[in-house]
Copies of this chain bind each other. A is one copy, B any other.
Amino acid sequence: MGTIGEAGEFGLIARLTRRLPQGPAVLLGPGDDAAVVAAPDGRVVATTDLLVEGRHFRRDWSGPYDIGRKAAAQNLADIVAMGARPTALLVGFAAPPATAAGWAERLYDGLADECREAGAAVAGGDVVGAPEITLAVTALGDLGGGAPLTRSGARPGDIVAVRGRLGHAAAGLALLGAGRDGPAELIAAHRRPRPPYEAGREARSHGATALLDVSDGLVQDLGHIAAASGVRIDVDSAAVPVPEILGPDGLRHALTGGEDHAFAGTFPANAVLPSSWRRIGIVTEGAGVRVDGSEPQNGGWDHFRPKSGGSRNVYGTMR
């Protein structure tokens, strides 16, 4: 297969591009100065994330296919968390020239398959040489005429509900950090988050007043809704889904672990949510997040100043 350095920039682009889905939203795909993507709503939802080797993923813990799926998923989930439909991804890929071309192809297969699952296409990107592997993923989406579901619309009296798994990715990461390779379900959850992309549509149709995807940890992310909305959020820990597989630290993982890309939202008190949503708390007057009435000590994590409860700290603090 050779290395990406042997393939050369244009050869590599050609090899990677032909693996990528081209959906109807991509009006002009890779190969020009820029892509053209349909934005029928007249507004485009856009988000970008950087994933750096050794910090956001480890090649000895995750294969290229899973890294690709995860990189796409975390950005597609951000689009869905605005109540939008993902349309397209732009992917910047930096890697050492000695990287196997087959590794890069598997990475792009993962990006492509996650896009297919979310109904999006890959519209373009960039490949460059670098000492470490870095992925820069930008996702675009369309609101379909609806208002964006921001973090600022929660009102006292609303209920708080989540859709999707909590704590699984954090538990899997903790296992890998401890040198273990099971339970397989948790390891897999770390390697490949599975955001329930239908959550955006469901939240909108049930009148969600705020929505986000849980990337930094449930408590910390609910704190973002509380701050943006000027409200307090009270979480009932007994209502938080903590399946037995999460082990003795299950509740902590569920409250502080990020990267599962579940969705958390607030809804009018009279909302009748599908059973896939779990009601976990209420919105009240005040500020911050309380769990069973107390202020949590370790709410999540910060990319530059990790706290002791953060799930990604296994990668080490910043040096």
Contact = CB atoms under 8 A, between A and B. Distances in A.
Interface of A: 4-10, 12, 27-28, 31-52, 54-56, 77-79, 81-82, 84, 88, 90-94, 96-98, 123-132, 134, 136, 138-141, 143, 148, 150-152, 211-213, 228, 302-305, 318-319
Contact of A92 (B46, B131, B136): B136
A3 B28 CA distance: 42
A126 B48 contact: yes
Contact of A42 (B5, B39, B45): B39
A138 B28 contact: no
Contacts of A305: 5-6, 8-9
Contacts of A318: 5, 96-97, 129
Copies in the complex: 2
Contacts of A123: 46
B8 A130 contact: no
A33 B94 CA distance: 24
Given A36-B148, A43-B36, A48 B136 contact: yes
A36 to B, nearest CB: 5
A44 B50 contact: no
Given A38-B43, A97-B304, A302-B10, A150 B48 contact: no
Contact of A97 (B211, B228, B319): B319
Given A32-B152, A44-B44, A52-B129, 17 more contacts: A4-B304, A27-B43, A28-B148, A33-B211, A35-B45, A36-B143, A37-B44, A37-B45, A37-B46, A38-B42, A46-B90, A46-B123, A48-B91, A48-B136, A50-B126, A55-B128, A98-B319
30 contacts: A5-B305, A6-B305, A8-B302, A8-B304, A9-B302, A9-B304, A9-B305, A27-B43, A31-B151, A32-B148, A32-B150, A32-B152, A33-B151, A34-B47, A34-B78, A36-B45, A36-B82, A38-B42, A44-B44, A46-B46, A47-B90, A48-B125, A49-B126, A50-B94, A52-B128, A52-B129, A52-B130, A97-B319, A129-B303, A136-B136
A34 B50 contact: no
A266 to B, nearest CB: 14
B34 A84 contact: yes
A285 to B, nearest CB: 22
In the A-B complex, the 10 residue pairs with the smallest Cβ-Cβ separation, listed nearest first, are A136-B136, A97-B318, A34-B47, A39-B39, A33-B81, A50-B92, A129-B318, A8-B305, A9-B303, A48-B90
Contacts of A211: 33
Contacts of A127: 303-304
